[in-house]
Amino acid sequence: MSSALSTPQTPETGTARVKRGMAEQLKGGVIMDVVTPEQAKIAEDAGAVAVMALERVPADIRKDGGVARMSDPDMIEGIIDAVSIPVMAKSRIGHFVEAQVLQSLGVDYIDESEVLTPADEVNHSDKWSFTTPFVCGATNLGEALRRIAEGAAMIRSKGEAGTGNVVEAVRHLRQIKGDIARLRGLDNHELYAAAKELRAPYELVREVAELGKLPVVLFSAGGVATPADAALMRQLGAEGVFVGSGIFKSGDPAKRAAAIVKATTFYDDPKIIADASRNLGEAMVGINCDTLPETERYANRGW
Amino acid sequence: MTDVPVIGVLALQGDVREHLIALAAADAVARPVRRPEELAEVDGLVLPGGESTTISKLAVLFGVLDPLRARVREGMPVYGTCAGMIMLADKILDPRSGQETIGGIDMIVRRNAFGRQNESFEAAVDVQGVEGDPVEGVFIRAPWVESVGAETQVLAEHDGHIVAVRQGNALATSFHPELTGDHRVHALFVDMVRAWRAPDPL
């Protein structure tokens, strides 16, 4: 299952190394939400490393309310046909049949996402049972490790999707990185209690304490709207960023998309970030997260 | 001049960290390269796995593509994995509009030839020039080499398709040794860099 350290003589698909390795290839890149094949092409032309195919961007899901579900297979296939970069799609939390459908469509990664309305308030999907790798959101290290224990091959800090406000993304990434740093300071005796507190498997806790990082790639998501936001998340330790509503809810999506890609690569070069930030037109308006009722916070979904 | 070669990893996007670790384990000094002036300071360069369209665009945008071509032409050793293999191809079978490569290996490469992520796989691969057991081949949405020119040496095949090649000082694999902890392919490349740096024998 998890350690495919001896290489099979006959080719083997869906190994942990192939799933996690796929995410390694996305590092340093930007994954963009798109709702049409045309948007997917704009994203690819701007230098996105992957696109997330969905019917409505989070900002619209927020506005429309109601139950948000997996997207129409026709729409997902249309996007798969339009681009050569990897295509991701979202299933509801715990809705393993939506995930089965997405796997059958040939998407490259499944996002078991809190942005959609959860289908199960206790259990997430068993992600080991799929060939297609999964990415899951997390607000802290314990949550990240529970997802990895279930088979997630990539983690993204949740942030608060559809707000255009980076504050929650910063909070969650700092929390995860801070939790990891604290583990590094513990001795072997203390790791057992730490695992209990984190509500995460001891083996994974020990692995993180040794590595000083998650055993899978860590991206940031939820509220990135500008090149500087993307660079901020990278300087805080994200290995790449998801941008949802921030691009196609802005005035000039093609230009903003390319600018965020540049700033993500040169995240430590303020001059390049400054140049990328010039004349981008209007950013998405954004929502002040303080005024968001608890029930409308997507980050609270997932357990 | 010391014996330890300095090898860069093109760090525009992709699994840069894993290559830096593998190169260091193979006794090279490894450093990320994003700018032309950083490229000028290395004895060899790895083109990592990643998204070839993204890497190609960023290379053009930030002015490293032409310096890269110039250095490859002058014989600087380069090693490309997966997307890096695509970057070293003289020709891509199915390029995205405007997708540029560095070139250096007379071959035609087919992108994502082994399929999408669900078809990504691991398999043992015998690589010419790598002693001992087969290499652990990790193929992720991997390309294969459709055909090679007379000067290009085929180092490995999988299932009847070419997955590792060398032409002069340019080396390319469809698969990702950097993800395995087996550093023999990187050691082969470090040897190529050492040989290139060595002063001519008297």
**Which segment of A9-13, A131-135, A160-164 scores lowest on mean pLDDT?**
A9-13
Q: What is the pLDDT of residue B74?
A: 95
Residue B76 in contact with residue B45, Cβ under 8 Å?
Answer: yes
Task: Report how far apart the first and last C-alpha atoms of chain B are (Å, whole number).
Answer: 17
CB proximity A255 to B under 8 Å: no
What are the pLDDT digits (tens) for A237-285?
999 999 988 899 888 999 999 999 999 999 999 999 999 999 998 887 7
**Mean pLDDT, rounded, for A39-51:** 97
Beta strands at B144-148 and B105-110: parallel, antiparallel or unpaired: antiparallel
- Closest partner residue to A13 among B50, B96, B118, by Cβ? B118
Tell me if B54 and A85 make a contact (CB, 8 A cut-off): yes
Residue B38 per-residue DSSP state: H
Comparing CA positions, the residue from A169, A269, A178, A181 lying closest to residue A229 is A169
Give the integer Cα–Cα distance in Å for B78 and A209.
35
Beta-carbon separation of A106 and B118 below 8 A: yes
Taking an 8 Å cut-off on Cβ atoms, the answer to whether A18 and B121 are in contact is yes
d(CA A270, CA B151): 45
Contacts of A11 in chain B (CB under 8 A): 121-123, 158-159
Give the A window 68-97 contacts with B, CB below 8 Å. Answer: 84-86
A7 has pLDDT over 80:
no
Comparing CA positions, the residue from A12, A296, A16 lying closest to residue A153 is A16
Please state the residue numbers annotated as binding site of B for L-glutamine: 50-52, 111, 140-141
Q: How many residues make up chain A in this entry?
A: 303
Comparing CA positions, the residue from B190, B150, B188, B157 lying closest to residue B175 is B157
List CB contacts of A174: < 8 A, sequence separation 6 or more. A236
Catalytic residue selected from A41, A63, A90, A255: A90
Interface contact A145, partner B, CB < 8 A: no
The predicted pLDDT at position B39 comes to 97
Local structure of B107: helix, strand or coil = strand
pLDDT digits (tens, 9 = 90+) for A287-302: 888 888 888 889 999 8
Q: For the residues of A167-231, what is the DSSP string, one character each?
A: HHHHHHHHHHHHHHHHHHT--HHHHHHHHHHHTS-HHHHHHHHHHSS-SSEEEE-SS--SHHHHH
Residues of A in contact with B62 (CB under 8 A): 265-266
pLDDT at position A8: 55
Tell me, what's the pLDDT at B202? 53
Using a CB-CB cut-off of 8 Å, the residues of chain B touching A104 are: none
Q: Nearest CA of chain B to the CA of A43: how many Å? A: 10
Work out the minimum CA distance from B3 to partner chain A, whole angstroms. 30
Residues A79 and A40: their CA atoms lie apart, in Å, by 6
Chain A environment of B179 (Cβ under 8 Å) = 17, 21, 24
pLDDT one-digit tens code per residue, A156-212: 999 999 899 999 999 999 999 999 999 999 999 999 999 999 999 999 999 999 999
pLDDT reported for residue B1 = 52
Positions of chain B with pLDDT under 50:
none
Whether pLDDT at A24 is above 90: yes
**Nearest-CA neighbor of A225 among A294, A172, A291, A159?**
A159
Q: Which residue does chain A place closest to B136, by CA atoms?
A: A7
Q: Name the pLDDT band for A3 (thresholds 50, 70, 90).
A: very low
Query: B121 and A13 in contact by Cβ < 8 A?
Result: yes
CA distance A197 to chain B (A): 31
Q: How many whole angstroms separate alpha carbon A291 and alpha carbon A283?
A: 20
Chain B residues touching A265 at Cβ < 8 A: 12-13, 34, 58, 62
Complex ipTM: 0.95
pLDDT in tens, A63-112: 888 899 999 999 999 999 999 999 999 999 999 999 999 999 999 999 99
Active-site amino acid positions of B: 82, 176, 178
The alpha-carbon gap from B151 to the nearest alpha carbon of chain A, in Å, equals 30
Which residue, among A224, A238, A234, A218, has the nearest Cα to A272 in the 3D structure?
A: A234
